[in-house]
Amino acid sequence: AQSVTQLDSQVPVFEEAPVELRCNYSSSVSVYLFWYVQYPNQGLQLLLKYLSGSTLVKGINGFEAEFNKSQTSFHLRKPSVHISDTAEYFCAVSFYGGSQGNLIFGKGTKLSVKP
Amino acid sequence: GAVVSQHPSWVICKSGTSVKIECRSLDFQATTMFWYRQFPKQSLMLMATSNEGSKATYEQGVEKDKFLINHASLTLSTLTVTSAHPEDSSFYICSAMVAGGPGAKNIQYFGAGTRLSVL
């Protein structure tokens, strides 16, 4: 079965510190990978995506992620966080050839940036 | 580009009434739209997949007669919660997928969500 695991439900960090939000997936076929951010009472905003090519992808707001096929991971990183990065972050996977592009979401990681 | 508008953002209704939520792709055509439900502090649960001009495909456990989905055009899908009850209170989010074709990469763009409160 295909699944997405976000290992940390909450990540507290101080402002200007680096952060890594972990995401692992399970699949027997090729995947497309996404990170979305959700601010309180809002929808999801696409941070970045991996479709093919370079395994290091850069997104908005200074975030980047690296696709590691051997470890089936797609961890999200930012070298220096801001208070405004406080939000819920969701990793999602779409499977190549999957039904109509359905996304499977992880359970989310709440990033709390403290001053 | 790739903006999805969802309306209303917040609705309060009485038990037994019906509520319609609209999802529009503003600057692209979406052959496929998705409807999700999100409970507090949880992830998104796919409710149904909506294809323009055809019947929606519902996920297991989602009542088709309670959650009516219409995808009348390439830019509009609607979700109607019929005879709403307090347990239907939730955050509903739609997404739209860029029309497929060679090289389509299954990218979904999300609306801002609708918070439904049933009294």
What span, in angstroms and rounded, lies between the C-alpha atoms of B53 and B61? 23
Q: Does B6 touch chain A (CB under 8 A)?
A: yes
What span, in angstroms and rounded, lies between the C-alpha atoms of B18 and B78? 13
Nearest to B110 among A43, A98, A106 (CB): A43
Q: Is residue B44 within 8 Å of B36, Cβ to Cβ?
A: yes
The pLDDT tens digits for B40-88 are: 878 888 999 988 888 899 999 999 999 999 988 889 999 999 999 999 9
Alpha carbons within 13 A on the beta-carbon side of A85? 29
Between strands B90-97 and B114-118, the pairing is: antiparallel
Q: Inter-chain contact B110–A101, Cβ cutoff 8 Å?
A: no
- Substitution target in B4, B71, B107 with the highest count of A β-carbons within 10 Å is B107
Please give the pLDDT value at position B100. Answer: 57
The pLDDT tens digits for A67-110 are: 999 999 999 999 999 999 999 999 999 876 555 567 889 999 99
Q: Is residue B32 within 8 Å of B98, Cβ to Cβ?
A: no
Q: What is the dihedral of CA A108, A113, B3, B8, to 10 degrees?
A: 80
Structure tokens at A4: 């997405």
Taking the CA of residue A114 and the nearest CA in chain B, the distance in Å comes to 20
pLDDT-derived band at B102 (thresholds 50, 70, 90) equals: very low
Taking the CA of residue A38 and the nearest CA in chain B, the distance in Å comes to 9
- Average pLDDT on A56-67 reads 95
Taking the CA of residue B25 and the nearest CA in chain A, the distance in Å comes to 14
Q: Quick check: helix, strand or coil at residue A61?
A: helix
Q: Quick check: helix, strand or coil at residue A99?
A: helix
